Amino acid sequence: HWGYEHFRPMQEEIVDDTINGFDVLALLPTGGGKSICYQLAALLQPAVSFVVCPIKSLMYDQKQDLENAFITRIQQITSDDDGEDKEVILRRYSNGKYFFIFIKYILF
């Protein structure tokens, strides 16, 4: 579905452990394929995934990549959203509308 024929090193183990209910902390290098690990694991479980992202542009890119793969039950919450927009997103989340919610995290 994502256009890959096989997993990169450690990806399959990360996804397997996650869907089998283990707590997983996955440390992979930049470009090592972390996104596919949490995306696939989240889609294989009956749950909403909150993705905390430190970089807003990365969040927008990942949302677009998922939508390009026809995974559309996705939303993001950033400082660009006003209070009313955030309330609508949270209400829709409460009604089970989303698989993923990307949240911009700011470190102080």
Give the gyration radius of the chain's Cα atoms.
14
User: Would the pLDDT of 42 be above 70?
Assistant: yes
Model confidence, pTM: 0.72
pLDDT in tens, 51-64: 888 788 888 888 89
pLDDT in tens, 70-106: 888 889 988 888 889 989 998 998 888 888 888 876 6
Q: What is the C-alpha to C-alpha distance for residues 92 and 20, in angstroms, rounded to an integer? A: 28
Q: What is the C-alpha to C-alpha distance for residues 35 and 83, in angstroms, rounded to an integer? A: 28
Collapsing DSSP states into helix, strand and coil, what is residue 8?
coil
CB 103 within 8 A of CB 51: yes
Copy the structure tokens of residue 101. 């919610």
